[in-house]
Structure 1
Amino acid sequence: MLTVFRSKAGADVLMVSAHAKALLEAMGREPAPQGVFRGPQLAEALANWAQWVPPPPAEAAPEETEDESPVTGLRQRAWPVCELLRRAQAQGVDVVWLPA
């Protein structure tokens, strides 16, 4: 499933629901299927995200071959959502998330 983050501050951001759940938890929010970031919650979410430290890998990965692409982490996946939150904060508008 997909989750979409929407705001008048920018374009919609689609994210796999499992990644959205992890991002919301890192931002200090309950990973509900839908919700909203309002006013001061935007700054709080961004501050929580800035302090988030990713968990260590579950186990060492086997030797990578040259054909494998690098793994994309949550920090890279979250960048568009964080930018949307920053723009929404600057413009004084909300950001909602809901199933896509």
Structure 2
Amino acid sequence: MSITFKSQATGDLFMVQAHAESLLKLLGKAPAAQGIIETKDMPAALQILRALGDEVAEDEASRDIERDEDPDERDAGDQRGADFQGERVSLRLRAWPLIQMLEKAHAADKPIVWGV
């Protein structure tokens, strides 16, 4: 299942339900079938999601140091590009489209809704 975030300021944003619900919980929103992020709440939402990115980046960097692993080597992965098993997309990366949507919607003074 997926959740579709909509705003008059942007195109629709489709997100896997589990990932969308994780982000909504971070924003203090109950993962309900319908909801809204009003423009007055967007600066706080942006701050939360951006802080998530900082925390995750710091955590990933510390794990690289702990494992004595070169981050460039890890990111290069399989040079043939054929084997992506085991690759994980962080919540920080999954939040990026929502951050962009929040920025545009806030600038245009338009809410973001889902389930409508």
TM-score band w.r.t. shorter chain: 0.7 to 0.9
Equivalent in the alignment of 2:84: 68
Percent identity over the alignment? 34
The total of aligned residue pairs comes to 92
In structure 2, the partner of 1:60 is none
The answer to whether the 8 A contact 1:28-1:48 is kept is: no
Q: Give the corresponding residue for 1:92.
A: 109
* 2:71 matched residue in structure 1: none
For the 8 Å contact 1:19–1:74, the answer to whether it is kept is yes
Say whether the 8 Å CA contact 2:36–2:111 is kept in structure 1.
yes
For the aligned residue pairs, the C-alpha RMSD in angstroms reads 2.4
Instruction: Provide the residue aligned with 1:32 in structure 2.
Output: 32
Unaligned runs of 5+ in 2: 60-76
Cα distance in 1 for partners of 2:33, 2:45 equals 17
Bigger proportion of residues as helix = 2
The answer for the alignment partner of 1:18 in structure 2 is 18
TM-score normalised to the size of structure 2?
0.68
Contact 2:7 2:111 in 1 (8 A): yes
Structure 1 stretches of 4+ moved >4 Å: none
Report the CA distance between 1:51 and its aligned residue. Answer: 2.4
Amino acid at match of 2:112: V
Q: State the distance in 2 between where 1:16 and 1:28 align.
A: 18
Max Rg structure: 2
Deviation track 1:17-65 (CA, whole Å, cap 9, x = no partner) reads 00000011122222222100112111111112222345x8xxxxxxxx8
Q: TM-score, normalised by structure 1?
A: 0.78
